[in-house]
């Protein structure tokens, strides 16, 4: 640990222009106030948007008495545990490129213009939680790649499938693999030592124009170093045990997504992680459909394509409802209450179907201690009074315990969306 502290002092003394929040996030996360509740975050998403006419309540149907629309019907039993939002977006008009913006509010190629790059909410939480859990975050998929999780240096976080999720949570590595991992960590740290020792000499010879690139390079190096620091304490700690058999993936979209949701609930229950993102897709032939999710998403108001989208999206909502049920049924052994009381479950996508508009994003949030049960309608996204969707992300972060005043393109926390402060 002394060596790491010295390295951080060197970075400060070298005059590298890294913003203060970056420096705070790079120290080992031992600052978490244990008197505060332990919070978790889950995001469920897809890569092709949502059919809006089935997702959003009527614009004038506001407040707690709104009629739940067709796509959200599977959540009806939990209507007091979730909120649906209208007119929140990230201000983009970029179709498919809106998907990776969902949890950051920042387009990847514009990341360098923002203090924290295009880091996603789950990775911001992962930095905050640090080594409090075996996995600072888990990025998972069912049938489609997970495109929403990004580090602050703009790197897309690799994802794992159903089998990989189970093995990561419950299967112990053999002793020889653990020894190899420990040796690898030592080797990588030695390499980083050399890199950082050379950094001072390189930095002093750079022009001002090159300072930013050099700072980004050091950020990437330091981010890797921090990950190595977080991995080491968990090498020899036993994983939790479970009677759940290893799931057999490939049984169909509904079965695979349900199995993944159940593993996510177990990950939260065992406190293996406190940040999970899941992207799900569709396999041709499921639900009696012939075609691909992408093709259906360009529906052009064709009845058969719209029907296909409704079936696919209805399944996603059924599995979200299943996750809510699992979390509500499980006592929170750390905080008291239920796991849902302290777990924010979000569904969303960075665009809609049809023309793949990125205006008025489909967004639902459940649990987490927020005050739910309403359809909240915000000013028209085209108006001067628009509310950024990043305000919702900032509210989620503050609810989680992070002391941040801005996130991505936010202008503040989301108005009229409160949570229990205890």
- Answer with the one of 222, 238, 254 that is the final residue of a domain: 238
Q: Answer yes or no: do 251 and 362 share one domain.
A: yes
In order of 38, 279, 341, 379, the CA distances from 336 in angstroms are: 10, 30, 9, 37
Q: Answer yes or no: do 100 and 183 share one domain.
A: no
* Domain count for the chain: 2
Q: Is residue 139 part of a domain?
A: yes
Indicate the pairing of strand 363-367 with strand 343-348: antiparallel
Q: Is residue 31 part of a domain?
A: no
Q: Is residue 224 part of a domain?
A: yes
256-276 pLDDT, tens digit each? 999 999 999 999 999 999 999
Number of neighbours of residue 140 by Cβ within 10 angstroms: 22
Q: Is residue 188 part of a domain?
A: yes
What gap in Å lies between CA 101 and CA 354, rounded to an integer? 19
Q: Is residue 23 part of a domain?
A: no
Q: Answer yes or no: do 112 and 256 share one domain.
A: yes
Q: Is residue 422 part of a domain?
A: no
Q: Is residue 323 part of a domain?
A: yes
Q: Answer yes or no: do 98 and 159 share one domain.
A: yes
Q: Answer yes or no: do 216 and 166 share one domain.
A: no
Q: Answer yes or no: do 233 and 290 share one domain.
A: no
Q: Answer yes or no: do 160 and 196 share one domain.
A: no
Residue 312 phi/psi, 5-degree rounding, is: -65, -45
Please name which of 161, 121, 171, 115 lies closest in space to residue 139, comparing C-alpha atoms. 161
pLDDT at 304: 96
What gap in Å lies between CA 19 and CA 307, rounded to an integer? 49
Q: Answer yes or no: do 91 and 208 share one domain.
A: no
CATH number at residue 277: 3.40.720
Q: Answer yes or no: do 271 and 343 share one domain.
A: yes
CA angle 128, 222, 190 (to 5 degrees): 125
pLDDT at 144: 94
- Answer with the one of 204, 238, 272 that is the final residue of a domain: 238
Token pair of 174, please?
């053999």
Q: Answer yes or no: do 278 and 367 share one domain.
A: yes
Q: Answer yes or no: do 179 and 272 share one domain.
A: no
Per-residue pLDDT of the chain (422 residues; tens, 9 = 90+): 333 333 333 333 333 323 323 333 333 333 344 568 999 999 999 999 999 999 999 999 999 999 999 999 999 999 999 999 999 999 876 788 899 999 999 987 777 778 788 899 999 999 999 889 989 999 999 999 999 999 887 888 999 999 999 988 988 767 666 566 556 555 555 555 555 556 656 666 667 667 666 666 666 655 655 555 555 665 667 888 888 888 888 899 999 999 999 999 999 999 999 999 999 999 999 999 999 999 999 999 999 999 999 999 999 999 999 999 999 999 999 999 999 999 999 999 999 877 888 999 999 999 999 999 999 999 988 888 999 999 999 999 999 999 999 999 999 999 999 998 76
Q: Answer yes or no: do 97 and 117 share one domain.
A: yes
**How would DSSP label each residue in 326-379?**
HHHHSB-TTTSSBTGGGEEEEEE-SS-STTT--SS--EEEEETTB--S-EEE--
- Answer with the one of 218, 238, 258 that is the final residue of a domain: 238
Q: Is residue 407 part of a domain?
A: no
Domain span at residue 392 reads: 39-171+246-400
Number of neighbours of residue 19 by Cβ within 10 angstroms: 13
């Amino acid at each position: 640990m002394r060596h790491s502290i010295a390295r951080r002092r060197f970075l400060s003394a070298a005059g590298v222009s890294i913003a203060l929040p970056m420096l705070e996030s790079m120290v080992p996360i031992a600052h978490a106030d244990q008197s505060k509740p332990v919070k978790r975050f889950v995001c469920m998403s897809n890569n092709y948007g949502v059919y809006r006419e089935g997702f959003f309540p009527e614009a004038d149907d506001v407040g707690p008495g709104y009629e739940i629309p067709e796509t959200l019907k599977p959540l009806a039993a939990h209507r007091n545990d979730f909120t649906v939002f209208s007119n929140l977006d990230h201000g983009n008009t970029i179709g498919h490129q809106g998907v990776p913006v969902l949890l950051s509010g920042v387009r990847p190629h514009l990341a360098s213009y923002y203090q924290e790059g295009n880091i996603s909410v789950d990775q911001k939480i992962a930095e905050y939680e640090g080594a409090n859990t075996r996995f600072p975050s888990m990025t998972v998929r069912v049938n489609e790649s997970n495109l929403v999780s990004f580090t602050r240096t703009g790197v897309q976080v690799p994802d794992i499938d159903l089998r990989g999720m189970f093995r990561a949570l419950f299967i112990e590595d053999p002793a020889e693999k653990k020894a190899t991992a420990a040796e690898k960590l030592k080797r990588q740290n030695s390499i980083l030592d050399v890199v950082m020792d050379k950094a001072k000499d390189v930095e002093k010879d750079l022009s001002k124009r090159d300072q930013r690139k050099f700072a980004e390079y050091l950020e990437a190096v330091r981010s890797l170093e921090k990950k190595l620091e977080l991995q080491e304490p968990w090498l020899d700690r036993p994983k939790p045990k479970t009677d759940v058999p290893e799931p057999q993936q490939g049984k169909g979209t509904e079965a695979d997504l349900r199995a993944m949701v159940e593993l996510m609930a177990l990950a939260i229950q065992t406190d293996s992680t406190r940040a999970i993102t899941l992207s799900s897709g569709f396999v041709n032939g499921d639900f009696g459909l012939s075609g691909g999710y992408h093709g259906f998403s360009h529906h052009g108001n064709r009845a058969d394509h719209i029907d296909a989208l409704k079936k696919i999206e209805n399944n996603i909502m059924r599995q979200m409802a299943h996750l809510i049920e699992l979390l509500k049924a499980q006592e929170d052994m750390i905080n008291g209450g239920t796991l849902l009381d302290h777990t924010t479950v979000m569904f969303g996508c960075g665009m809609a179907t049809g023309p793949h508009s990125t205006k008025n994003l489909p967004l639902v949030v459940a649990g987490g201690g927020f005050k739910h049960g309403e359809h909240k309608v915000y000013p028209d996204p085209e108006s001067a009074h628009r509310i950024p969707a990043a305000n919702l992300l900032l509210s989620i972060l503050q609810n989680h315990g992070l002391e941040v005043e801005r996130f991505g393109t936010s202008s503040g926390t989301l108005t009229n969306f409160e949570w229990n402060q205890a």
